[in-house]
Amino acid sequence: MNYEITKACENEKVEFKNPSTALYEVLGYEGMRKLMYEFYERIYESNIAHFFPQDRDEFEEVKKKNTKFFIQICGGPSIYDEEMKQKDLNEYMIDIHKNFSIYEKSRDEWLGTFREVLKELHVDEEIKNDFWQYLDKFSKLTVNRYLRESAYV
């Protein structure tokens, strides 16, 4: 499996599918928590760390919320619902990211970091591949800034 990062294009209609329940079924709550905590520990040290709170307690909250979201999106219990104020889960998630200027480069770093963690995870390739497809596609919807070619080139 190559964990390809496909390019995000402005105004593209992104087709994505929520992950199958398989990852949650094999990892369970604790396994999902470990996966997400490991991912966010690496984000804390990454080139996109500045997007996130540097305060450790605040960063813990980000990890907790993300863990809840990923458990729910993978078909686990609806433990993230309380955050969403009745909105559709995916729409809500896109809206949250509008508060930040996210370019393709930041998405690449985010996905590249997730790829490292997934490669180390001892789970069937097919299950990881399905999850990766979700990450690759859905993350395009978090990109909200595109570089324009210079008029002088």
Figure out which of the listed residues 38, 41, 81, 83 binds ligand HEM, where binding follows CB under 6 A: 83
In the window 85-144, what residues touch ligand HEM (CB under 6 A)?
Answer: 93, 96-97, 100, 102, 106-107, 110, 135, 138-139, 142
Alpha carbon 38 to chain centroid, angstroms: 13
User: Judged by CB, which is closer to ligand HEM: 82, or 152?
Assistant: 82
Q: Are 19 and 124 in contact (CB under 8 A)?
A: no
Binding to ligand HEM (CB under 6 A) within 40-59 occurs at 48, 51-53
Centre a 10 Å sphere on the Cβ of residue 69 and count the other Cβ atoms it contains.
Answer: 20
Tokens, residue 19: 């992950």
Question: For residue 110, what are the CA distances in angstroms to 22, 49, 83?
Answer: 23, 10, 22
Contacts with ligand HEM by CB under 6 A lie at 48, 51-53, 62, 65-66, 69, 83, 93, 96-97, 100, 102, 106-107, 110, 135, 138-139, 142
